[in-house]
Amino acid sequence: MESFNPADCIQDLQFFGEYGDVNPSISDSSTYTFLSAKKMFDTFESNVEGCYLYSRHTSPSNLYLDSALAAMEGTESASVTASGMGAITSTLLQLCGNGDHIVSSRTVYGGTYAFLKNFAPRMGIKTSFVDITKLDLVEAAINSDTKILYCETVSNPLLEVADIASLSKIAKKHNLKLVVDNTFSPLSVAPARLGADIVLHSLTKYINGTSDTIGGVVCSSVEFINSLKNVNDGATMLLGPTMDSLRSASILKNLRTLHIRMKQHSHNAMYLSAKLEADGIKTVYPGLPSHPSHELYRTMIHPDYGYGGMMTIDVGSFDKANALMELMQERNVGYLAVSLGFYKTLFTAPGNSTSSEIPLDEQEAMGLTNSLVRFSIGLDNDIERTYQMIKKCMQELHIL
Ligand SMILES: *Cc1c(COP(=O)(O)O)cnc(C)c1O
């Protein structure tokens, strides 16, 4: 694991602009000219190397970001999309059709859950939701129609860890594609190196890191990425979740600092979770020895980037959770907002916002209580100072 450092792979890429610019030129066009009609025909048919046709298919700017993200994930290829959901739904619809079946972790992003539960059945695609940490249950849910095993490296919002290497063995045995959403753990975990066939991200979160855009990516083999872009039956080509070139250029620039940011997010979250747990607050963070998958996760992560910036606490009641979030916002600890990966700490009560698609009884069965507060810990310079601010809020609200 340690010999592969994804940040070095990004660092080693060299993209110049057309005048020797230190950033690549931005392609500001939707369509491209050809010197000969034959070349245009050939490009349309088979992706002639170095030729561009139409920017829904691909654009030079998007290819720079594609290659940087493929390098980061250690996959042959990648394709950026206009959103994380655009990457997820295109991938699932490329691999599945009428009559097919998916085995998915039951704790996935709310939008993914809603798509699998409510939307995919309209196309004849059924999903079984399982506890992804119980490998025997995962295998038992597979049937002869199953095409995909789907999970998140670290799940949203419960921070359950998927044993990707073991899931990959199950997937191979049953001839399934293992699709992993790695949004919570860029650089820390490289799922493809653990056996995942397809790695997805919402770029909206850590990778872009500035909460100023929505974006996504699919990282996989050249064969799968080309199938997504196929003009006759490719999901991204035909459904059209295309990222704009101006935006992919700005995300590429933000990607350059991802390694520094991930170290600080992980450092801060480790510090706060240890302090709050020691204070007696029920805290979930994969870096804490109390986390049920701590030992497994320790073997999965690249030590340089740590256990990530996401943690949850349970403050005992719904009213206390809301009061705490409002007070922390008032004191400028962070913002009461969905999303994650920002420089500022963000907090939400996921039972009532990002996971509201999951029915209440199912939420309770999986430990997703409405007194849970999910934190995306920011890049705070002095995390002890932040801890003291949070502690004061908790004392005033009689949580501590
Ligand atoms: C935000 C998120 C998504 C969806 O991505 P968008 O960019 O909002 O479409 C998918 N998976 C996870 C884990 C997320 O956090």
- Does ligand 1 lie within 6 Å of residue 111's CB atom? yes
Residue with the larger pLDDT of the pair 37 and 226: 226
Query: Helix 60-73 vs helix 245-255: angle between axes, to the nearest 10 degrees?
Result: 30
- Does ligand 1 lie within 6 Å of residue 306's CB atom? no
Residue with the larger pLDDT of the pair 227 and 107: 227
Task: Please report where in the chains the tokens 């999309």 appear, as a residue.
Answer: 81
Largest CA distance in the chain: 75
Phi, psi angle pair for 218, to nearest 5°:
-115, 125
Give 323-347 pLDDT, tens digit per residue.
999 999 999 999 999 999 999 999 9
Q: Closest Cα to atom 8, ligand 1: which residue? A: 84
Whether the model clears a pTM of 0.85, i.e. scores above it, the answer is yes
Q: Closest Cα to atom 5, ligand 1: which residue? A: 84
- Does ligand 1 lie within 6 Å of residue 351's CB atom? no
d(CA 347, CA 180): 24
The pLDDT value given to residue 364: 74
180 membership: H or E segment, kind and range = strand 177-181
Cross-strand partners of 77: 220
- Does ligand 1 lie within 6 Å of residue 83's CB atom? yes
CA-to-CA dists, residue 109 to 103, 257, 319, angstroms? 15, 25, 24
**Ligand 1, atom nearest to 203 Cα:** 7
Give 134-161 pLDDT, tens digit per residue.
999 999 999 999 999 999 999 988 899 9
Do residues 153 and 162 touch, judged by C-beta distance below 8 A?
A: yes
- Report how far ligand 1's centroid is from the alpha carbon of 396 (Å): 34
Ligand 1 pocket mutation pick from 156, 202, 354 by most atoms within 8 angstroms of CB: 202
- Does ligand 1 lie within 6 Å of residue 242's CB atom? no
- Does ligand 1 lie within 6 Å of residue 157's CB atom? no
- Report how far ligand 1's centroid is from the alpha carbon of 180 (Å): 12
CATH of region 6-255: 3.40.640.10
Give 280-319 pLDDT, tens digit per residue.
999 999 999 999 999 999 999 999 999 999 999 999 999 9
Task: Compute, in degrees rounded to 10, the torsion defined by CA atoms 126, 131, 137, 140.
Answer: 10
- The yes-or-no verdict on residue 35 having pLDDT over 90 is no
Q: Closest Cα to atom 12, ligand 1: which residue? A: 109
- The yes-or-no verdict on residue 82 having pLDDT over 90 is yes
End-to-end CA distance of the chain: 40
- Does ligand 1 lie within 6 Å of residue 153's CB atom? no
The pLDDT value given to residue 258: 98
**One-letter identity of residue 178:** L
- The yes-or-no verdict on residue 1 having pLDDT over 50 is no
User: Collapsing DSSP states into helix, strand and coil, what is residue 202?
Assistant: strand
- Does ligand 1 lie within 6 Å of residue 106's CB atom? no
Confidence category of residue 356, pLDDT binned at 50, 70, 90: low
The pLDDT value given to residue 245: 97
- Report how far ligand 1's centroid is from the alpha carbon of 183 (Å): 7
d(CA 253, CA 264): 19
Ligand 1 pocket mutation pick from 69, 109, 154 by most atoms within 8 angstroms of CB: 109
Which DSSP category does 31 fall into?
A: B
Cross-strand partners of 345: 334
- The yes-or-no verdict on residue 2 having pLDDT over 60 is no
Select from 334, 332, 352 the least CA-distant residue to 343: 334
129 membership: H or E segment, kind and range = strand 126-130
- Does ligand 1 lie within 6 Å of residue 369's CB atom? no
Do residues 248 and 65 touch, judged by C-beta distance below 8 A?
A: yes
Give 244-271 pLDDT, tens digit per residue.
999 999 999 999 999 999 999 999 999 9
Residue 344: how many CA atoms within 13 Å on its side-chain side? 15
Domain formed by 259-396, architecture: Alpha-Beta Complex (3.90)
Do residues 261 and 206 touch, judged by C-beta distance below 8 A?
A: yes
Helices and strands (DSSP H and E) totals, the chain: 15, 12
- Does ligand 1 lie within 6 Å of residue 205's CB atom? yes
The pLDDT value given to residue 357: 54
The pLDDT value given to residue 353: 58
- The yes-or-no verdict on residue 216 having pLDDT over 70 is yes
Select from 181, 236, 222 the least CA-distant residue to 204: 181
**Ligand 1, atom nearest to 88 Cα:** 10
Q: Closest Cα to atom 11, ligand 1: which residue? A: 109
**Ligand 1, atom nearest to 204 Cα:** 7
Residues present in the chain in total = 400
**One-letter identity of residue 398:** H
d(CA 99, CA 105): 20
In degrees, rounded to 5, the angle at the alpha carbon of residue 287 between the alpha carbons of residues 278 and 211 is 105
**Ligand 1, atom nearest to 184 Cα:** 13
- The yes-or-no verdict on residue 48 having pLDDT over 80 is no
Whether omega before 157 lies within 30 degrees of 0, making that bond cis, reads yes
- Report how far ligand 1's centroid is from the alpha carbon of 87 (Å): 9
- The yes-or-no verdict on residue 79 having pLDDT over 80 is yes
- The yes-or-no verdict on residue 3 having pLDDT over 90 is no
Do residues 347 and 315 touch, judged by C-beta distance below 8 A?
A: no
Summary mean pLDDT of the chain: 94
The pLDDT value given to residue 368: 81
**Ligand 1, atom nearest to 340 Cα:** 15
Question: Per-residue DSSP letters for 133-187?
Answer: T-HHHHHHT--TTEEEEEEESB-TTT--B--HHHHHHHHHHTT-EEEEE-TT-TT
Do residues 270 and 310 touch, judged by C-beta distance below 8 A?
A: no
CATH topology match: 6-255 vs 259-396: no
Of 214-218, 338-342, 362-366, 393-397, where does mean pLDDT reach its minimum?
Answer: 362-366
What are the sequence ranges of the domains in the chain?
A: 6-255, 259-396
Do residues 194 and 168 touch, judged by C-beta distance below 8 A?
A: yes
